[in-house]
Structure 1
Amino acid sequence: MLDTYKTFAADCFAGRTVLITGAASGMGLETARAFASKGAEVVMADRDETGLDRYGGELRESGAKVHTVAVDVSNPESIDAMFSYCDANLRHLDNLVTCAAIITAKRIFEQDWAHWQRVHGVNLLGTFFTVQGAAKRMVENSSGGNIVCVASDAGVHGGGGLIADTAYAASKAGTLSIVKSVARELAGRKVRINALNPGPTDSPMHSHIEQSLKDRIAGNLPMRRMGRPDDMAASILFLCSDAASFVYGAALDTDGGSMFR
């Protein structure tokens, strides 16, 4: 594994479970690798069954305890089936990371009703109902649990259509609101929920961005590079760890300084 995670003890998640949506590529996949490297029992969920088979198999070969389950988070029955799998195969659910999302970059007059329904079906409704399912189980656990929802810096300063559009930015602003609202409602119930705000990240989700634009974005960031999936996975590990036990209803900006440009 990458040295990014050397700060965390090798067994810091031993005996704990984690469900990760969007786990067949990019940030979700790297998060699955990170948790597995620290001893967690991992459930990788994604609609890409080929990716799940490949990368879940690789992790099992390395000795990790990994499950894979197909899910389409825009479909409520599929979300229910994912949690039924967890109920049947896990002792209990300790951590949830919602990475499943789609990013779109359309100008304002190119966005129609169907476009907004598609983006928000995955990014907003999918996130909420996945959080709802996990929180219900965690509240019933005597040990509670941790939830991290992956939002975006676009949810704070907007899209614009070049890298991310209005529909995407609005869905991520909504994700931040979900985290705040759920945190208020679950206060005192032993369930921590926080958000991660990634900045521009060089991952498969951003394959629509040409390299020349990526170079320009990197040059404008205070860190002078785009983020990597392991940058985000390390922050997620922190938010789910005991070191973050007093972090609640927060949004961690892991963005190379994009928020204060």
Structure 2
Amino acid sequence: MSIFQKLFSLEGKTAIVTGGGRGLGRQIAQAYSEAGANVVICSRKVQACEEAAEEIAEKGGNVLALPCDVTDEEQVHRVVKETLEAFQSIDILVNNSGSSWGAPALEMPLEAWQKVMNVNVTGAFLMAKAAGKHMVDQKSGKIINITSVAGLNGADPRFLDAVGYNTSKGAIVTLTKDLAAKWGPDNVHVNAIAPGFFPTKMSEGVLEMGGDMIIDRTPLRRFGGEEDMMGAALFLASAASDYVTGEILAVDGGMNAL
């Protein structure tokens, strides 16, 4: 076995990717499948998950598409149950499902704030809790939470005026570190990726409004590409990161360095 296979292969592993039907979640699910993992893709938009699953299956991957509202604990438990029935283990969880709402802080509707916090924070906790139980029992597991560079610092409102989103992603940073501290003794690794700006459906309006400013504040002078999340996500899911937990990996073209 080569050092590459030893460190980065996901053969025999099973990964759940929430929000895996499109955007960054879809990229991560594809990477895991190509690395040998069984992949479960789930979100409220099950049609998108099914389309992504069909694409993976056509390349020979083992994949399951399931509906799931991550804010509904019953649906979360159903996804975990069906994953275990199909593949017998849960080795990797990517908490990627997310929501946003753009509005000045003084005008942010309470219901919008609560929706964003519920999906981004409570949803991630419910998934981590449900999958984490099995990881703790089996004494192994990798949880990767998707936060954002917007959760590491304040954001200039000229290109991102979404206080609820930024706050929720900051909460994910602390959730990641605290679960890493709690579950480390059981060999469950909890890390996070903080993406910069990638062209996705969620970021479309932001890039249209402030794309030039974002590029100017990104040392690599470009947005994230279709494969730029794959390496980081594979690293944190594989044996290559077996001595890494509680860390936040920025994949942002250097934006957080400024």
Q: What TM-score does the superposition give when structure 2 sets the normalisation length?
A: 0.93
Residues 131-172 of structure 1: CA distance to partner in whole angstroms, max 9, x if unpaired?
Answer: 111110101114x11110001111111245432511111101
Partner of 1:248: 245
Q: CA 1:238/1:164 → structure 2, altered by over 3 Å: closer, same or farther?
A: farther
CA distance in 2, matches of 1:250, 1:164: 26
Matched, 1:153 2:142: no
CA distance in 2, matches of 1:212, 1:76: 36
Give runs of aligned pairs for residues 194-233 of structure 1, distance below 5 A: 194-211=191-208, 213-233=210-230
CA distance in 1, matches of 2:222, 2:46: 32
1:210 shift after superposition: 4.5
CA distance in 2, matches of 1:114, 1:42: 33
Structure 1 vs Structure 2: percent identity of aligned residues? 28
Q: What letter is aligned with 2:167?
A: A
CA distance in 1, matches of 2:90, 2:180: 18
Give runs of aligned pairs for residues 96-135 of structure 1, distance below 5 A: 96-135=93-132
How large is the RMSD of aligned CA atoms in angstroms?
1.8
1:257 shift after superposition: 0.9
Partner of 2:255: 258
CA distance in 2, matches of 1:248, 1:34: 21
> How many corresponding residue pairs?
254
Matched, 1:92 2:86: no
Residues 94-116 of structure 1: CA distance to partner in whole angstroms, max 9, x if unpaired?
Answer: 11111100122211122121011
Partner of 1:73: 70
Q: What letter is aligned with 2:252?
A: D
Classify the secondary structure of the residue corresponding to 2:20.
coil
Report if aligned partners of 1:27, 1:230 keep a CA contact under 8 Å in 2. Answer: no
Report if aligned partners of 1:22, 1:100 keep a CA contact under 8 Å in 2. Answer: yes
CA distance in 2, matches of 1:76, 1:212: 36
Which structure 2 residue ranges, 5 or more long, are not aligned?
A: none
Classify the secondary structure of the residue corresponding to 2:175.
helix
Q: What TM-score does the superposition give when structure 1 sets the normalisation length?
A: 0.92
Q: What letter is aligned with 1:141?
A: Q
CA distance in 2, matches of 1:179, 1:77: 23
Report if aligned partners of 2:31, 2:234 keep a CA contact under 8 Å in 1. Answer: yes
Report if aligned partners of 2:197, 2:224 keep a CA contact under 8 Å in 1. Answer: yes
Which structure 1 residue ranges, 5 or more long, are not aligned?
A: 1-6
CA distance in 2, matches of 1:53, 1:198: 25
CA distance in 1, matches of 2:234, 2:196: 17
1:38 shift after superposition: 1.0
1:125 shift after superposition: 0.2
Classify the secondary structure of the residue corresponding to 2:228.
helix
1:174 to 168, 171, 175: 171
Classify the secondary structure of the residue corresponding to 1:231.
coil
Classify the secondary structure of the residue corresponding to 2:64.
strand
Matched, 1:37 2:34: yes
Partner of 1:3: none
